[in-house]
């Protein structure tokens, strides 16, 4: 279907049939036009210029920022003015927040005075705050209005609102009192005052709250929109579910990238220049490189023991990888739970207790498995070692210790970083694995000295 879509548009472009192209594009879903722009980026500006203004705005607002920026640079001034002016305030703020310097000034000049003041006001909030993604276009009514007057107000001003699914009740000073779903208003008697429909079960976002918190509030309360208030409970705007889904997608992408040991990418992977990609990845690799040097330092301290019992070196990859894997598992689970609001810093003791038991159970399982493998090796190859039981105890007990340590580090580090104000995702897989590598060797050779001293050492 998508390939057919591209072929049909290419045919229209080759025939230089602008009229037919306009009719064709205006009949498509905006997601289909977005796909065409992704597949045929060289025609992105032409597609936007060809579309009717309303559909051009709806397509433009769902494009990723690098594509928006490329279009802005080449778009005819009259079309650019129309699009910028008709963009919803929250989408306009997101665009202006990404642009730099002269590009921001260029777009602000195109806006009417009221819209320019509104845009600058929204840009004044912190980058990752709720205020940055709210829109001031909403329906607010007074508590003493009748349902009939409210419906008349909605008919008059509803077309300019981001959504009319929810109506907000305010007092004479603009303080938010409650929100009412449109269904309740439509089903109520026209002469009933709106105050009689309120239930005082208000849920609102604070304008300076982090956007991550807004995601959790939406998830827990099944809302399509939520009001945004200041410290005096004055209604400033609303946030809708489409913006929350967009932010949630960006947060998820950033966390996944950080968990892989790289800085978050600000653009789609294929749009990031190679040198920029190098800069995003090299810092963590250098940090991990020096971390692994500690592993070498730890091994050099046990050269004498390894020289005496060469077979100990055979199991080093098994020991350190098991610890790293268990740590990465724990870190991933805790980071995800923190992102979903299931775990907070206050839960650290419950997390610690659970991970102690998990680490013991997991380590014991690998301990029994490793002992069984060493026993089989001895039966198959009697020359393996005459002290196979002691070797098995060293490896098995080390696995219990390393896996337990790995789970504790993987679960506690994200919480510690969160407490210190850092990003928990930065503590995951590579960092935890490197940390457990070093400590895993110390645990391993400590058990070797315990069981083999006076026998093989």
- Name all contacts of 365-374 with Cβ < 8 Å and 24+ positions apart: 366/322, 366/396, 366/399, 366/400, 366/403, 367/396, 367/397, 367/399, 367/400, 368/396, 370/318, 370/395, 370/396, 370/399, 371/395, 371/396
CATH code for the domain in which residue 207 is found:
3.10.580.10
Query: DSSP readout, 383-404?
Result: TS-TTHHHHHHHHHHHHHHHHH
Is residue 323 very low, low, confident or very high in pLDDT (cuts 50, 70, 90)? Answer: confident
Same domain, yes or no, for 17 and 146?
no
Residue 133 in any domain: the answer is: no
CATH code for the domain in which residue 378 is found:
1.10.357.20
Interatomic CA distance for residues 3 and 6, integer angstroms: 5
Residue 315 in any domain: the answer is: yes
Residue 253 in any domain: the answer is: no
Is residue 30 very low, low, confident or very high in pLDDT (cuts 50, 70, 90)? Answer: confident
Interatomic CA distance for residues 213 and 221, integer angstroms: 13
Same domain, yes or no, for 318 and 230?
no
Same domain, yes or no, for 109 and 34?
yes
- Among the candidates 61, 96, 124, a domain finishes at 124
Closest CA to 40 of 77, 18, 8, 83: 8
Q: Are 187 and 170 in contact (CB under 8 A)?
A: no
Same domain, yes or no, for 289 and 363?
yes
Helix (H, G, I), strand (E, B) or coil at 159: helix
Total tally of structural domains belonging to the chain: 3
Same domain, yes or no, for 432 and 377?
yes
- Among the candidates 195, 225, 240, a domain finishes at 240
Phi then psi for residue 344, to 5 deg, are -125, 175
Phi then psi for residue 210, to 5 deg, are -70, 150
**Cα–Cα separations (whole angstroms), residue 252 to 212, 216, 335, 339, 367:** 10, 13, 11, 9, 36
Whether the predicted pLDDT of 250 surpasses 80: no
Same domain, yes or no, for 109 and 184?
no
Whether the predicted pLDDT of 257 surpasses 80: no
If phi > 0 it is left, if psi is from -120 to 50 it is alpha, else beta; for residue 226 that is beta
Residue 72 in any domain: the answer is: yes
Query: Which domain, by its residues, includes 102?
Result: 2-124
* Helical spans, DSSP H, in 143-273: 147-157, 182-186, 211-221, 241-259
Same domain, yes or no, for 168 and 230?
yes
Same domain, yes or no, for 53 and 158?
no
Residues contacting 392, CB < 8 A, separation 6+ = 370, 371, 374, 375
Residue 162 has a pLDDT of 80
Residue 408 has a pLDDT of 92
User: Residue 135's beta-bridge partner residues?
Assistant: 238
Same domain, yes or no, for 310 and 446?
yes
Is residue 457 very low, low, confident or very high in pLDDT (cuts 50, 70, 90)? Answer: low
To which H or E segment does residue 205 belong? strand 205-206
Interatomic CA distance for residues 160 and 150, integer angstroms: 15
Tokens representing residue 108 in the block = 């602000």
Interatomic CA distance for residues 381 and 126, integer angstroms: 67
140-142 β-sheet, strand order: 140-142, 166-170, 176-181
Q: Which of 246-250, 287-291, 346-350, 441-445 has the highest mean pLDDT?
A: 346-350
Mean pLDDT, the chain, as a whole number?
82
Residue 223 in any domain: the answer is: yes
- Among the candidates 77, 94, 124, a domain finishes at 124
Same domain, yes or no, for 199 and 230?
yes
Q: Are 150 and 138 in contact (CB under 8 A)?
A: no
Same domain, yes or no, for 173 and 205?
yes
The more confidently predicted of residues 174 and 274 is 174
Q: Are 81 and 111 in contact (CB under 8 A)?
A: no
Same domain, yes or no, for 59 and 196?
no
Phi then psi for residue 279, to 5 deg, are -65, -35
Taking the whole predicted model, whether its pTM rises above 0.85 is answered as: no
CATH code for the domain in which residue 42 is found:
1.25.60.10
Rounded to an integer, the average pLDDT of 110-130 is 84
């Amino acid at each position: 279907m998508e390939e057919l879509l591209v072929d049909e548009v290419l045919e229209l472009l080759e025939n230089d049939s602008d009229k037919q192209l306009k009719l064709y594009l205006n009949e498509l879903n905006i997601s289909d036009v977005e796909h065409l722009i992704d597949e045929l980026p060289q025609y992105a500006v032409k597609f936007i210029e060809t579309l009717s203004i309303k559909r051009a705005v709806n397509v433009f607002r769902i494009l990723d920022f690098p594509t928006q920026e490329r279009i802005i640079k080449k778009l005819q001034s009259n079309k650019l003015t129309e699009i910028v002016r008709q963009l919803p305030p929250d989408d306009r703020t997101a665009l202006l927040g990404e642009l730099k310097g002269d590009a921001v000034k260029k777009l602000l000049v195109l806006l009417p005075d009221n819209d320019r003041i509104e845009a600058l006001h929204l840009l004044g909030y912190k980058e990752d705050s709720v205020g940055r993604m709210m829109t001031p276009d909403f329906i607010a009514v007074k508590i003493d209005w009748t349902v009939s007057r409210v419906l008349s107000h909605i008919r008059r001003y509803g077309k300019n609102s981001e959504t009319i699914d929810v109506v907000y009740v305010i007092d004479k000073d603009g303080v938010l009192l409650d929100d009412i779903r449109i269904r309740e208003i439509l089903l109520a008697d026209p002469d009933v005052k709106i105050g009689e429909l309120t239930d005082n079960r208000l849920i609102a976002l604070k304008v300076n709250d982090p956007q991550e918190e807004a995601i959790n509030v939406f998830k827990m309360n099944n809302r399509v929109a939520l009001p945004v208030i200041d410290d005096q409970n004055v209604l400033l705007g609303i946030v809708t579910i489409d913006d929350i889904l967009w932010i949630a997608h960006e947060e998820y992408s950033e966390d996944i990238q950080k968990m892989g040991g790289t800085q978050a990418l600000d653009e789609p992977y294929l749009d990031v220049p190679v040198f920029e990609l190098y800069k995003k990845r090299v810092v963590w690799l250098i940090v991990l490189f020096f971390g692994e040097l500690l592993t070498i330092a730890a091994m050099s301290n046990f050269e004498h023991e390894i020289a005496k019992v060469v077979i100990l070196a055979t199991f080093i990859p098994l020991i350190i990888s098991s610890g790293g894997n268990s740590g990465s598992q724990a870190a991933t689970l805790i980071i995800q739970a923190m992102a979903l609001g299931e775990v907070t810093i206050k839960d650290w003791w419950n997390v610690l207790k659970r991970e102690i038991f998990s680490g013991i159970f997991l380590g014991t399982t690998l301990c029994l498995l490793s002992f069984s493998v060493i026993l089989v090796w001895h039966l198959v190859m009697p020359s393996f070692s005459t002290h196979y039981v002691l070797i098995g105890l060293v490896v098995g007990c080390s696995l219990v210790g390393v896996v337990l340590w790995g789970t504790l580090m993987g679960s506690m580090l994200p919480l510690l970083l969160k407490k210190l104000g850092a990003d928990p995702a930065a503590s995951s897989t590579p960092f935890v694995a490197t940390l457990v590598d070093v400590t895993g060797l110390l645990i391993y050779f400590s058990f070797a000295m315990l069981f083999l001293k006076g026998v093989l050492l």
